[in-house]
């Protein structure tokens, strides 16, 4: 894979249990600085694509090459262990150098009270915990950020601020964003992949 690419999917075929093909000869390249949105009705294969990229599923055909990846999911409670403080779970996965300064800066950009990081996940609201999940992902300094409907639990103003922050972060990585919100996709994406259309062509 060339230096500028962070994701290279070539001629991918995938089906669960050799039933209906979800992906047939699907290819996608993503470079640092690009934001690509995946749209499509429920069941079209959006989450499956993320599972394939994270190597949790194996394609029947084709290749997937990916650089350092981090994911932000719709349900933040599934991203954190319930028994440990959020800060401990952040420190487990990120480089400790300048961590405190970076946390302070990002918390302010995410309008997240830093004191909340001392709490356990269930003590936070869904929206607060989602911002913790975004914070952790950005601190990991991924080259590819997979974002699955991550702003849908946030109120509109915070969701917009979070999207702006993610877009700012594009200087350092590429973003693949799953969304049902076509107007959001049109607003922020360099390219939109519509899985409804992909399906029609099969
Ligand atoms: N583990 C599995 N085994 C068999 N079939 C599965 C499995 N996971 C998903 N599927 C099927 O594969 C198809 C694609 O599922 P996927 O979850 O990727 O869709 P999606 O576009 O992300 O949907 P949603 O918008 O509802 O999250 C669906 O028809 C689903 O029922």
Distance 45 CA to ligand 1 centre (A): 6
Smallest CA-to-CA distance from 29 within 55, 2, 47 is with 2
Residues of the chain with pLDDT under 70: 153, 199-202
Distance 181 CA to ligand 1 centre (A): 19
Determine the CATH number of domain 5-200: 3.40.50.300
> Where do the structural domains in the chain lie, given as residue ranges?
5-200
pLDDT digits (tens, 9 = 90+) for 103-133: 999 999 888 999 999 999 999 998 899 899 9
Question: Which pLDDT does position 159 carry in this prediction?
Answer: 78
Model's pTM, two decimal places?
A: 0.89
Distance 16 CA to ligand 1 centre (A): 9
* Ligand 1 atom nearest 51 alpha carbon: 18
> ipTM surpassing 0.95, yes or no?
yes
Long-range contacts of 159-167 (CB under 8 A, 24+ apart): 161/109, 161/110, 161/111, 162/110, 162/131, 162/134, 163/188, 165/109, 165/110, 165/134, 165/138, 166/134, 167/35
Helix H or strand E segment including 120: none
Q: What does the alpha-carbon distance between residue 48 and residue 178 come to, in Å, rounded to a whole number?
A: 11
Per the structure block, which two tokens stand in for 130?
């989602």
Indicate whether residue 76 lines ligand 1 (CB < 6 A): no
Indicate whether residue 43 lines ligand 1 (CB < 6 A): yes
Question: Which pLDDT does position 202 carry in this prediction?
Answer: 41
Question: Which pLDDT does position 57 carry in this prediction?
Answer: 96
């Amino acid at each position: 894979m060339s230096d500028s690419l962070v994701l290279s999917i070539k001629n991918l075929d995938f089906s669960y249990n050799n039933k209906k093909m979800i992906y047939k000869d699907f290819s996608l390249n993503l470079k640092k600085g690009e934001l690509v949105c995946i749209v499509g009705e429920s069941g079209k294969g959006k989450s499956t694509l993320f599972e394939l990229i994270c190597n949790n599923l194996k394609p029947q055909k084709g290749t997937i090459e990916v650089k350092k990846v981090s994911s932000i999911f719709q349900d933040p409670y599934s991203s954190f262990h319930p028994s440990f403080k959020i800060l401990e779970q952040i420190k487990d996965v990120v480089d400790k150098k300048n961590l405190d300064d970076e946390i302070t800066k990002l918390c302010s950009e995410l309008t997240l009270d830093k004191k909340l990081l001392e709490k356990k996940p269930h003590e936070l609201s869904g929206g607060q915990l989602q911002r913790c999940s975004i914070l952790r992902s950005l601190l990991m300094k991924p080259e590819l950020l997979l974002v699955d409907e991550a702003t849908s639990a946030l109120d509109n103003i915070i969701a917009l601020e979070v999207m702006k922050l993610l877009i700012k972060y594009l200087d350092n990585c590429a973003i693949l964003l799953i969304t049902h919100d076509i107007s959001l996709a049109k607003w922020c994406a360099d390219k939109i992949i519509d899985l409804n259309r992909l399906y029609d062509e099969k």
